[in-house]
């Protein structure tokens, strides 16, 4: 992993609000609960607000369970460990067409291309 990739992943964790929690956010369930078994995505459905918004987001990059299952199968990831989460996040960046931007230091372009994945990024449209 390149320095720019590590920096971009760190930015995502800070943006998602996971970096300071638990094990640097790798064991954080959306809403603040921590999990302790990295053998699998915790798949906990959390109600987030009074309007009934629900999410299964978990980990440093807040993977939805359905997204995680697809990435785990695609990449042959053995578990939900920090290394697997990092690998999966890089894959999402790659699939968004932003990996070259990340590595070239084109931060704004990379963020714009990834905004549809991470709700915390500017332009995400998640409200």
**pLDDT tens, position by position, 57-96:** 999 999 999 999 999 999 999 999 999 999 999 999 999 9
Residues 1, 29: Cα–Cα separation, whole Å:
25
Catalytic residue among 5, 16, 33, 109: 16
Tokens of 73: 């199968």
Domain segments of the chain as ranges: 3-114
- pLDDT average, residue stretch 12-20: 94
Tokens of 79: 């578990």
DSSP labels for 33-73? Answer: -B---TTS-----EE-STT--EE--BTTTTB-HHHHHHHHH
The whole-model pTM stands at 0.93
Would residue 109 show up in a list of annotated catalytic residues for this protein?
A: no
Instruction: Identify the band that residue 122 occupies on the pLDDT scale cut at 50, 70 and 90.
Output: confident
Instruction: Identify the band that residue 127 occupies on the pLDDT scale cut at 50, 70 and 90.
Output: low
Q: What is the CATH number of domain 3-114?
A: 1.10.530.10
């Amino acid at each position: 992993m390149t320095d720019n990739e590590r920096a971009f992943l760190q930015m995502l964790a800070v943006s998602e609000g996971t970096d300071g929690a638990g094990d640097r956010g790798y064991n954080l369930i959306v809403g603040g609960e921590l999990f302790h078994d990295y053998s699998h995505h915790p798949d906990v459905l959390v109600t987030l607000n009074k309007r009934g918004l629900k999410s299964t987001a978990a980990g440093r990059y807040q993977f939805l369970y359905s997204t995680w299952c697809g990435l785990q199968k695609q990449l042959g990831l053995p578990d939900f460990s920090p290394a697997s989460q990092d690998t999966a996040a890089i894959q999402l960046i790659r699939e968004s067409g932003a990996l070259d931007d990340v590595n070239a230091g084109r931060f704004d372009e990379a963020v714009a291309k990834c905004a549809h994945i991470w709700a915390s990024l500017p332009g995400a449209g998640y409200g």
